[in-house]
Amino acid sequence: MAMKKGSILFVAALVGYSAVILLIYYFESANESSNIKTLFDAFWYSLVTLTTVGYGDLYPTSIAGKMISMTMVLGSLGILGLFIGKLTEYIQALAERRKMGFDGTDFSNHVIIVGWNEFSEDVLTQLVHAGKKVCVITDNKDHIDFIYENFKKEQVFVVYSDMNCRECLKKANASEAVSLMPNFGDDAKNLVFVLNAKKYHPHLSFVVTIDNGELKETFTSAGVSFAVCRNDISSKIVASYIFEPSVARFNEDLLSSAADNKDYDIQQYYVKEGIKYAGMTYGAVFDDLKNTFNVLAIGVSRSNGQEQVLNKLPDSSFEVKSGDYIIVLTSGRCVKELNKQFDCSEGLYYAEHV
């Protein structure tokens, strides 16, 4: 209601301002001693007066013109204030709209995280370190400032929305995304969201962390690509720290993305048709990567039509084919060279070429 009232006042002020210009032109153009002869002259004079610039090149000489000008001068502060106020209001509303992500994002080949908490922050940090673009959907305005203060807008976009699946995913440009991670902190809510999102965006790879390991098969049946039980992973790491702490520390380091040249990481690279490794044996690929980049090829992942099958340290005679993924142990300093060698960056190939 307040916005509507303000719009009416603005229109009324604009109409009144136009009437003043016409009246000044009417009276001054008929006065021989006046230098306001055209409608443009009247507009220029009123504009200079309204903005308090006052060049003095044009001015009224008739009594009627002066009276009208006095009225305009007295009212100019109000009109100018109203105009500046409306302009400021519009700019603020536009900035707020962009901040809230109401107009959506043009990100493509990105990851969507639905729900925000400390775990989401940790996942986002790893994805950003890996050079991925991420859209975060949250229903809490307080999260927005925190996210933008800690992550660059070039890589992270935030959508403030209720968790209406279809609408919030539309703003997140889910049709151009590649992966989605619901993170509501509740297995049932995560499952419901996946089922709804799957109807509209079946192409997405759904990754879900679950608290109840017994539900893993349920999530898989619902179309989840990877259902990861937090307790399973944490228990294995804790047990490893108990009897082989050095190995555990090394494994934990490998689980995180390489943030700088000294960090080590396990990465996967797609074997495109035509690159040198397509058609080579695993042994030959291993030797080439080790001798050229000091990188260890530790496995080959191949699709069987339904899922990716991981071949860990296959025989030297194992043939690497186009469409496979080569799993490598590398350091951050080799990432750029590997991207060039494979003609794509690490991760799922369709994450960059949809």
98-112 pLDDT per residue, tens: 889 999 999 999 999
| Class of the CATH domain delimited by 111-233 | alpha beta
Distance between CA atoms of residues 344 and 272, nearest Å: 9
Residues of the chain with CATH 1.10.287.70: 2-100
Residue 353 confidence (pLDDT): 42
**According to CATH, where is 3.40.50.720 located in the chain?**
111-233
- Is residue 217 within 8 A of residue 224, CB to CB? The reply is no
CATH 3.30.70.1450 segments of the chain? 261-351
pLDDT at 34 > cutoff 90: no
Q: Starting from the edge strand earliest in sequence, which strands make up the sheet with 308-312, in order?
A: 264-270, 325-331, 296-303, 308-312
Question: Domain 261-351 has what CATH class?
Answer: alpha beta
Helix (H) or strand (E) holding 57, with range, is none
**Can you read off the two tokens belonging to residue 70?**
């006095």
| DSSP class of 38 | S
The 10s digit of each residue's pLDDT in 263-288 is 788 889 999 998 999 999 999 999 99
Partnered with residue 326 across adjacent β-strands are: 269, 300
CA 337 to chain centre: 27
Give the 3-state secondary structure of residue 7: helix
Q: Lowest-confidence range among 156-160, 166-170, 204-208, 253-257?
A: 253-257
Q: What is the pLDDT of residue 351?
A: 46
Q: State both tokens at 226.
A: 């990877």
Poorest-pLDDT segment among 51-55, 223-227, 264-268: 51-55
Question: What does the angle CA 291 – CA 295 – CA 299 come to, to the nearest 5 degrees?
Answer: 115
Q: Would you state the pLDDT for residue 8? A: 74
Taking the C-alpha atoms of residue 8 and residue 77, their distance in angstroms, rounded to an integer, is 18
Q: Minimum mean pLDDT among 112-116, 181-185, 302-306: which range?
A: 302-306
| CATH class of domain segment(s) 2-100 | mainly alpha
d(C-alpha 298, C-alpha 277), whole Å: 15
125-131: long-range pairs with CB below 8 Å, 24+: 126/256, 126/257, 127/257, 128/152, 128/155, 128/156, 129/256, 129/257, 129/258, 129/259, 130/257, 130/346, 130/347, 131/155, 131/345
- DSSP 8-state code for residue 228: E
Q: How far apart are CA 10 and CA 17, in angstroms?
A: 10
Percent of the chain with pLDDT over 70: 92
* CB-neighbour burial class of residue 191 (10 A; exposed 0-12, middle 13-18, buried 19+): buried
Share of the chain above pLDDT 90, in %: 46
Average pLDDT of the chain to the nearest whole number: 86
Can you give the pLDDT at residue 331?
Answer: 84
pLDDT of residue 134: 96
Query: What does the pLDDT average to over 162-169?
Result: 84
